[in-house]
Structure 1
Amino acid sequence: MKRSLSILIAVLIISCKGNNEGTNKVLPIDKQATEETKKLYANLFNIKDKGFMFGHQDDLAYGVEWKYEEGRSDIKDVTGDYPAVYGWDIGRIENNADKNLDGVPFDKMREYIKQVYDRGGVNTISWHINNPMTGGDSWDNTPGTVASILPGGEQHEKYKRWLDSAAAFLLSLKGSDGKPVPILYRPYHEFTGNWFWWCKNTTSKEDFINLWKFTVNYFQEKGVHNLIYVYNTSDANVNTKEDFLAYYPGDNMVDMVSFDIYQSGGGEKQDKFINDTKRLVGIIDEVAQERSKLSAIAECGYEQVPYEKWWTETLMNSIGNHEISYVLVWRNHGWNEWMKPPRMHYYAPYKGHQYEKDFIEFYKNNKTLFQQDVTKFNLYK
């Protein structure tokens, strides 16, 4: 009752203020953004003091011991409700492949994204793009790749073709109303690490910023105006606000600031996760307020969630009272024989998980927003 009452009050407040008021005050960087994209952006500002949205990668596509079952979700199996934010990845779109790097057919992904939009949820997309210089995957971090795809580089024309494939997919995302689905787009994510070809250990600050600007401008030239651009670091090599902003491409190139962070064990590793998350949430909150941007934990989690109170204590305490838009945990792959060692690979609870009760308490918390909550906010109106 308390949760429902707080959501009702929030909806009434937003209705009284009028969504157009928010639209006039905050606009995405794309001056030709679709009306639905502008409304989503403004409404995300309007609701961020109501709590943070919970997100899950590939939530509708598969879960632990199931795949491609219409309407199913591990989150829904546990809580009776879907997440508010749904993560997708378009890696392999550059190859004109039928499926992405995790095996999700692009046709199915397009339909899932439509379903999310139709019921008022939020979609976010990353791109684990192959290495255009070597032919390897995203993790082929050969130095000089970024320079090779900038204007004048030997792989520039190839890279433009890859961007064309992505643009075509993004333009194909339509709701039942026939309108383009707004997307929180997170290019060149985790660049402060050292594992991708676009990471800062393989390229210069100037080349990274030029690549970011080129990508944004290229998509806009191709008529893609349904993107909200998300600047994203990892937790690696980010200790201060200056570290976080070191490769920042400018306020006219970024709509949202975010970071990715994972917990890798208990004890001291859990303490490190909490302390690092608290520090980074504080940094992005400060940056967001100073620059009138949104903020988020774009990826996080603890594989298999082997701690009884991870959701209600570890994660909630790490976020504290900071006003972020969302926190998204990674995918529920299930048994993964390719990992070393082979093991269960999942980051959200499923029905029957030993600590699912803690997630239900997390769901009931007034600060967490799921699908039923955000549907009431009419984010696209």
Structure 2
Amino acid sequence: MRLLIFIFLLISCTKAMFAQEFHTANKKATSQTVKLYNNLFRILPQGILFGHQDDLAYGLGWEYIQDKSCVQDAVGEYPAMYGWELGDLELDAIHNLDSVPFQKMKAFIQEGYKRGGVITISWHANNPVTGKNAWDISGNAVSAIIPGGHMHEKYKSWLDKIAGFLMDVKTQGGEFIPVIFRPFHELTGNWFWWCQNVCTPEEYKSLWKFTFDYLTNIKQLNHLLWAYNPEKFESEAQFLQYYPGDEYVDIMSFDFYQYGDPSNNTDFETTLDKRLLILTKLSKERKKLPALAETGFMNIPYPEWFTKKLMKGIGNHAISYVHLWRDGGLVNGTGQYRFAPSQDHFIPVGRDPAFMDFYKLYISDKFIFGNKVQQLNLYK
């Protein structure tokens, strides 16, 4: 009897948690953005949204083919989330650093939204001090562009260009499409000009807060959800060291990739489990969405990676989404840069060895793909 009472109370508490209203960091967020945010909380018990970067743009041996999708090619269904990138927009380029034209990107965003999918956008901004790419860590760039820095006005001009693009992310009827915006990610690494090795926690927080305030209050971008996104961390304190505050964040996430040979160790799944435990605890306490914002194993040389590594590491953690990184396809000239499996005829042996394992992930009912996400009506 006591067990039944405990189970009843647990179910009641869980239902109550997902029935409550969650507030976006931007108090003026559009109604659709607020609905998306709350619906993403609501469906947490139902599964994890599956996403893929640049999914509609290119894949192994192809690019820019109408209605083609890497994930749809593999399992017959589109992903539930579509990721895009704004790097080089600040330089007035016509295409981003991954060679996707910005005008095409807007059309792809419309397509994903019409299918009921969720849109997420990252920004690998170039180094504003040196003029080199995001991976150039010289020049003390963060201190230079925050308020009081000698290149602050230049950074504002970059934000004006970002805002110009995001203001044009609309349906054909003119309604703003909600976007999960993920700037200055992987900050606990050491490879970007905004990472922890080249800026202090106070400088990073100042950069985040100014960016949020400028795009929200000055540029009036009210269709963004803001995702805070470190990489490595081993404790709650480390995850929160650069955290700008609950009033500036909607989603707590992190990036984590497989490296090395997974056939002879359990490092990936063990670490993923530990970090998800920290993430889900913090996000629940602070009423934020938890997510795995980037993951994958380049070229998937271990054919059972999806089930024996990724799914095992996720376990029973309730997170909003998992997002695979992009497939180079023809964009880098070789096609040998990918994170999603393929059934495409460009595979020399006719079928990707990782395909069947990915299909097991697909049919596991643990993840939400395009058909179900359309049924869930996340924007209503």
What whole-Å deviation, never above 9, does each CA across 1:171-209 have from its counterpart, x for those lacking one? 100013421010011110000000000001101111100
Deviates more, 1:348-357 or 1:94-103: 348-357
Give the match for residue 283 of structure 1. 278
Q: Residues of 1 paired with 2:23 and 2:171: CA distance?
A: 22
- After the TM superposition, which residues 69-218 of structure 1 pair with which residues of structure 2 at under 5 Å, given as runs? 69-218=65-214
Q: Deviations over 1:87-138 (max 9, x none)?
A: 1100011011100000000000000001111111001000000011111110
| Alpha-carbon distance in structure 1 between the residues aligned to 2:237 and 2:335 | 38
Q: CA 1:314–1:363 in structure 2 vs 1: closer, same or farther (change >3 Å)? A: same
Equivalent in the alignment of 2:266:
271
Does 2:339 match 1:347? yes
How far did 1:335 drift? 6.4
Which residue of 2 is the match for residue 323 of structure 1? 318
Match of 1:234 in 2: 231
Which of these residues, 246, 255, 276, is aligned with residue 251 of structure 1? 246
* Alpha-carbon contact 2:116-2:370 (below 8 Å) kept: yes
CA distance in 2, matches of 1:371, 1:171: 25
Could you tell me how far apart the structure 2 residues matched to 1:373 and 1:176 are?
24
Instruction: Work out which of the residue numbers 252, 255, 258 in structure 2 matches 1:260.
Output: 255
Change (3 A) 1:297 1:270: farther
SS in 2 for 1:275: helix
Q: Corresponding residue for 1:5? A: none
Per the TM alignment, residue 72 of structure 1 is displaced from its structure 2 partner at its CA by 0.2
Alignment CA distance shift 1:263-1:270 (3 Å): farther
Contact 1:278 1:320 in 2 (8 A): yes
- In 1, Cα distance between the equivalents of 2:89 and 2:310? 33
C-alpha deviation, 1:279, in angstroms: 1.0
Gaps of 5+ in 1: 1-16
Change (3 A) 1:335 1:109: closer
Is 54-63 or 265-274 further displaced after alignment? Answer: 265-274
Contact 2:262 2:302 in 1 (8 A): no
Alignment pair present for 1:33 and 2:29: yes
Which amino acid letter does the alignment assign opposite residue 344 of structure 1? Q
Question: SS of the residue aligned with 2:27?
Answer: coil
In structure 1, which of residues 283, 290, 309 is the aligned counterpart of residue 304 of structure 2? 309
Where does residue 360 of structure 1 map in the other structure?
359
Task: Give the secondary-structure state (helix, strand or coil) at the position aligned to 2:336.
Answer: strand
Q: Any gaps of 5 or more consecutive residues in structure 2?
A: 1-14, 344-350
Distance in structure 2 (CA, Å) of the matches to 1:375 and 1:32: 26
Q: How many angstroms does 1:334 deviate by?
A: 3.0
User: Identity percentage over the alignment?
Assistant: 45
Q: Separation in 1 of the partners of 2:292 and 2:139? A: 28
SS at match of 2:45: coil
Using a 3 Å threshold, how does the CA distance of structure 1 residues 118 and 270 change in structure 2: closer, same or farther? farther
Deviation >2 Å, runs of 4+: 267-270, 334-338
Residue number in structure 1 paired with 2:374: 375
Q: How has the CA–CA distance of structure 1 residues 134 and 224 changed in structure 2, closer, same or farther, with 3 Å as cutoff?
A: same
Aligned length: 356
Kindly tell me: are residues 192 and 368 of structure 1, through their superposed partners in 2, closer, same or farther at Cα, counting changes over 3 Å? same
CA deviation profile, 1:25-76 (whole Å, cap 9, x unmatched): 1121101101110000000000011110111000000000000001001210
Q: In structure 2, do the counterparts of structure 1 residues 164 and 270 end up closer, same or farther at CA, with 3 Å as the change threshold?
A: farther
| 1:255-292 C-alpha deviation (Å, 9 max, x unpaired) | 01011011112247752211111111111101111100
SS of 2:197 mapped into structure 1: coil
Counterpart contact for 1:230–1:254, Cα < 8 Å: yes
How big is each residue's C-alpha offset from its partner over 1:316-340, in whole Å with a ceiling of 9 and x where there is no partner?
11001010001111111136868xx
Q: Counterpart amino acid of 1:353?
A: D
Paired position in structure 2 for 1:57: 53
Question: Partners in 2 of 1:89 and 1:269 — Cα distance?
Answer: 34
CA distance in 2, matches of 1:336, 1:103: 7
In structure 1, how many angstroms separate the alpha carbons of the residues matched to 2:29 and 2:295? 29
The 8 Å contact of residues 311 and 359 in structure 1, kept in 2 or not, is answered as yes
Q: Assess if the C-alpha contact under 8 Å between 1:57 and 1:328 holds in 2.
A: yes
* In 1, Cα distance between equivalents of 2:330 and 2:264: 24
Q: Is the 8 Å Cα contact of residues 185 and 228 (structure 2) preserved in structure 1?
A: yes
Q: Distance in 1 between matches of 2:172 and 2:357?
A: 36
Assess if the C-alpha contact under 8 Å between 1:336 and 1:344 holds in 2.
Answer: no
For 2:168 and 2:264, the matched residues in 1 are separated by 43
Q: Distance in 1 between matches of 2:137 and 2:287?
A: 33
What is the rounded CA distance, in whole Å, between the counterparts of 1:99 and 1:269 in structure 2? 41
Q: Is the 8 A contact 1:362 1:368 kept in 2?
A: yes
Deviation sequence 1:213-243 (CA, Å, 0-9, x none): 00000001201111000000112xx111111
CA displacement at 1:154 relative to structure 2: 1.1
